[in-house]
Amino acid sequence: MQNFKLNPTIIFVMSAIPINPNFFNHDAQAGGFFPVTHINPGFDIEAFISGTGKNILVEGIRGTGKTHILKMISSKCIDTYPEKKILPVYISLARVSEWEGSDIRLFRIQLYASIVAEAISTLERERSRISYQKNGFEKSVDAIKRMFGIRTEDDIDTLLQKIKDINERLLGSLAYNPEKILERISSGSEQNAGVTVGAPHIQASLSDVRRQIEDKEIQLVGKNLAHESAAPFIIEFFKQLKEILGCNYTILLLDECSEASTDAQVELFRLLKLIRGAFTANMQTNNVYFIASVYPPYATEYPSRLRGHSFNFDPGQDAGVEYLQLDELADEYETFFHELTRKRLQYIFERMISDPITEIFENERAFYLAVYGANGIPRRYLEILKQSYDNLCQRTGSEAEIKKISQKDVESGIQTVASGQILSPSKLQNDDFKIIEEISKRIGTRNKKTETENKDKQNPIPANVYFTINRSQVEEITSLLLQGCVHDKGRTRLRKYYKDEGAHGPLFMLDLALAIYNGAIDKRRILDILRNDLKENAKSGYLYCQDFNLDQFEYRKK
């Protein structure tokens, strides 16, 4: 940081190592997407776009990097378009207003009009990479004109711009007057485009004609997109667009699907189901594929006939599933965060970084504590570092020596993140707090007993953070799972050493940041537990995990 000189004899030095705030920016939706910092231990973006297309669900809880992955796929498709010819269309469901609360047709309009507009915007932005012939595709051009009710003889560029304008005007109208949109698309009334007025009003009449023509186009598109057959309409659009562009296929990147309401999610999965089945004539490829980001099944509304829906959507059958959260037992776990730190520092400092640990940490113990406190969640790691750095800046004074992030700073950062973010009152209810408190207490009591008994043992028992519960009770910890207070070991990127015979029922773990915060593991040998004991426990088939029955918890008895 900068030195401030007040007079020739007094110099104040801010002694915390300077780190640009952008280093800590983890929001890929709001300025935190840095493609050059992407790392690939166990997760190759190239695999998503190699060979024939794939339909994939990218699954993870909050902060595991779903948006980052989808944006990296989009970026990679654009960079390699001249060779691979894959058109990416990225849509964030967080930006699609949930009008379906009053009428699902409004959500359909918002979703499908956004998809069309974004597809054409991508073509406009990347015109230098995405080239196409303007002649020889008359049938596809005519088909698109019919779909959008366009009668003018425009060239392909003008036609696509007009289609984009229609959809954007439709979205604008929806934002300001959704009830009016529904009224007009439901009425089916035809307006008379002819205008019979005297010569003094010719200019006004032409303007009226233009407005009426545009209004009829919007009305037609609104009807098409609001109807139950809107999904096939979109698939047909991409089929004709493929012919015009000469691309291999479009890849629809739908982000934050699980943030939509129940009815909206059913509509989304209806689209994905149709995309899956929309093979081309040779039955080998599709015109469009999807990669959608979702929360785990306990927080996602997959349609099921058993629950009264008209169709099933089954992860693993209707789409492959990629789990984003990195398992704390994976061989590449520490390497992942080491590279994440190095590449981010390299990007921010604009110079080569050989060892990120010595660059900003006092020692490797501080680094490893932050790494395991993150529990495989990149956003959590960056937030712990931010809070650790804030603590460093607050405690440093006017000493000449430059200070770096210490283990004490990281411990403080973990405490802040655990209490203020993981245990967020806005995301958890009273029973959630009671459950996590008792889980922490029971695990902590068992670990204290083990630590005492280990003093007399030649082969000590490893500390434990793992537990099982009855499958019928998993629904009761849904909020804790989604918030990252506990973790489902069946839904991480790698489950090394896992043995079914070693645990009874679904296997979970207490979040490591909360284990540290609540004192469930011995802080005196914390790094030995995090780096060694957890692996030893897993190698035994999780022999030392605890079996919990929530009905026996104290808060239930009261």
**Residue pLDDT, tens place only, 252-273:** 999 999 999 888 999 999 999 9
In this model, does residue 10 exceed pLDDT 50? no
Q: Across residues 443-461, what is the average pLDDT?
A: 93
In this model, does residue 97 exceed pLDDT 90? no
The whole-number pLDDT of residue 20 equals 93
The whole-number pLDDT of residue 213 equals 45
Q: Across residues 74-92, what is the average pLDDT?
A: 95
Contact between 35 and 75 (Cβ < 8 Å)? yes
pLDDT grade for 247, boundaries at 50, 70 and 90: very high
**Burial label, 70 (beta-carbon count in 10 A; 0-12, 13-18, 19+):** buried
CA angle, 171 then 177 then 181, to 5°: 70
Contact between 88 and 78 (Cβ < 8 Å)? yes
Higher pLDDT, 10 or 428: 428
Alpha carbon distance 203, 315 (integer Å): 58
pLDDT grade for 88, boundaries at 50, 70 and 90: very high
In this model, does residue 195 exceed pLDDT 60? no
Domain 44-323 in CATH 3.40.50.300: yes
In this model, does residue 157 exceed pLDDT 90? no
Task: Give the type of residue at 245.
Answer: L
In this model, does residue 188 exceed pLDDT 60? no
Least confident of 199-208, 224-233, 484-493: 199-208
**Burial label, 249 (beta-carbon count in 10 A; 0-12, 13-18, 19+):** buried
The whole-number pLDDT of residue 89 equals 97
Chain position carrying tokens 């499958």:
471
In this model, does residue 206 exceed pLDDT 50? no
Contact between 383 and 390 (Cβ < 8 Å)? no
CA angle, 325 then 509 then 380, to 5°: 45
Radius of gyration of the chain (CA): 28
The whole-number pLDDT of residue 207 equals 47
Q: Above pLDDT 90, what percent of the chain?
A: 60
Long-range contacts of 14-17 (CB under 8 A, 24+ apart): 14/393, 14/396, 15/396, 15/397, 15/398, 15/399, 15/400, 15/401, 15/402, 15/403, 16/389, 16/392, 16/393, 16/396, 16/402, 16/403, 17/360, 17/392, 17/402, 17/403, 17/404, 17/405
Chain position carrying tokens 């009425």:
187
H or E segment and range at residue 4: strand 4-7
Domain residue spans in the chain?
4-21+339-422, 44-323, 430-557
The whole-number pLDDT of residue 156 equals 87
The residues near 84 (Cβ < 8 Å, ≥ 6 apart) are: 49, 77, 248
In this model, does residue 194 exceed pLDDT 90? no
Alpha carbon distance 234, 225 (integer Å): 8
The residues near 310 (Cβ < 8 Å, ≥ 6 apart) are: 303
pLDDT grade for 284, boundaries at 50, 70 and 90: low
Strand order in the sheet with 288-294: 86-92, 249-255, 288-294, 56-59, 320-323
Q: Above pLDDT 70, what percent of the chain?
A: 85
CA angle, 502 then 322 then 317, to 5°: 90
Higher pLDDT, 234 or 13: 234
Q: Mean pLDDT across the chain, nearest whole number?
A: 86
**Residue pLDDT, tens place only, 521-537:** 999 999 999 999 999 98
Contact between 24 and 341 (Cβ < 8 Å)? no
Q: Beta strand pairing status for 10-12 and 249-255?
A: unpaired
In this model, does residue 388 exceed pLDDT 80? yes
The whole-number pLDDT of residue 401 equals 82
In this model, does residue 108 exceed pLDDT 90? no
Of how many residues is the chain composed? Answer: 558
